[in-house]
Amino acid sequence: MKLIKIFIVVGARPNFMKAAPLIKALKKYPSFKLRLVHTGQHYDPEMSASFFKELRLPKPDTCLGVGSGTQAGQTGKIMIEFEKVCLKDRPDLVVVVGDVNSTLAGALTAAKLGIPVAHVEAGLRSFDRTMPEEINRLVTDQLADFLFTSCEGARRNLIKEGRPEAKIFFVGNVMIDTLLNHLRLAQKSRMLEQLGLKKNHQIRKYALLTLHRPSNVDLPIVLQRIFQALMELAREIPIIFPVHPRTLRQIRKFNLFQFVSFQENLKHIQKAQFQGKMLCLPPLGYLDFLALMSQAAIVLTDSGGIQEETTILGIPCLTLRKNTERPITIQEGTNRIVGNDPERILKAARRVLKSRILRKKIPKYWDGKAAERIVKILKQQLKS
């Protein structure tokens, strides 16, 4: 039996959640020989190591250790190191997921070496080229030989860009595979009790916030205005804010501590003191974050993946951006675009808290079986 060598490239937190169900599904077939390549784009324990443990991901076969850097610098470092790996043990296929720099670098390196590329989560478009992720998506999809999409709109985007229909496969959403596989386990998390949000099986109403996009956190006036709106909201409902390392650097740089209350050690929380401020936590593991998200009254975010997860959970989501590459979460899910205007954020949040937005329906193939569909297609296509 001829083994088919597949390299799966991961590098940042969202990649791990998308790769986990793929690895599990691929391991069912002895004809596939897997190699997990971790670029090191996210390298600290909270953003990487804890996810490997909780998602039961195998230890990476190769760690490139590129670390942080500029867009070009980080992408270039990954390409240089990944090329060495590909030349040494040439794979039959390189699988990349999502839209981070590791995705683009993996696809570019493989394509230049004549190695077929599969892109999981292809075809998503915000139509905003000021977003680095949008450039990563566009270029990766032009290089990929297998384009695995999570919604019908993604297929239409790819067709408009001239990609052959024979290369496009509508399989569903691997992020949702991971969520559905771990939801019961996340319910065992004691994070709500630690924060004083759950007592005697009664859950106190609270909001959950994530914020990390450069358009929101890199300009002091923008970040300050968002924080002013959210501090006002925090007087009405507790806001839990697991802080991304990038955002924490900007809070320190711009001296915005008047808006936040820090809880630096999760292990010694007695009962959180909110005091009308956002309660900042260190980055959380997957299960603790999922536990908080699944019970929130409302989620405010600029993350694409969270828009999808709240859609499945039926949790109202306000996206603090002017656009989204996941319009299906608005058309069929619980997501609303509110931008970063303080008045609009407050108005929308209060409307949700007064009359909860109900889920419309679950998008097609967001059923926990996307990875299985991908692997069946690869088995058939690579065999032929």
DSSP string, 114-174: T--EEEETTT-----TTSHHHHHHHHHHHH-SEEEESSHHHHHHHHHTT--GGGEEE---H
Confidence at residue 46, expressed as pLDDT on a 0 to 100 scale: 58
Does residue 212 have an active-site annotation? Answer: yes
Q: In the structure, what pLDDT confidence band is assigned to residue 146 with cuts at 50, 70 and 90?
A: very high
Handedness of CA 138, 142, 146, 151 (dihedral sign): positive
Asked which of 38-52, 168-182, 335-349 is least confident by mean pLDDT, the reply is 38-52
> Distance between CA atoms of 362 and 364, rounded to whole angstroms?
7
Percent of the chain with pLDDT over 70: 94
Asked if domains 4-173+366-383 and 189-354 share a fold, the reply is yes
pLDDT digits (tens, 9 = 90+) for 307-359: 999 999 999 999 999 999 999 999 999 999 999 999 999 999 999 999 876 66
pLDDT digits (tens, 9 = 90+) for 249-307: 999 999 999 988 887 665 555 555 666 788 999 999 999 999 999 999 999 999 999 99
pLDDT digits (tens, 9 = 90+) for 108-122: 999 999 999 999 999
Domain ranges across the chain: 4-173+366-383, 189-354
- How many CA atoms are closer than 13 Å to the CA of 33, on its beta-carbon side? 9
Averaged pLDDT of the chain: 93
Task: Say how far residue 1 (Cα) sits from the centre of its chain.
Answer: 37
The domain over range 4-173+366-383 is classified in CATH as 3.40.190.80: no
Q: In the structure, what pLDDT confidence band is assigned to residue 383 with cuts at 50, 70 and 90?
A: confident
> Distance between CA atoms of 334 and 362, rounded to whole angstroms?
10
> Distance between CA atoms of 83 and 111, rounded to whole angstroms?
11
Q: Which one from 38, 119, 212, 268 is the annotated catalytic residue?
A: 212
Fold for 189-354, please state it: Rossmann fold (3.40.50)
- Residue for token pair 């290369």: 167
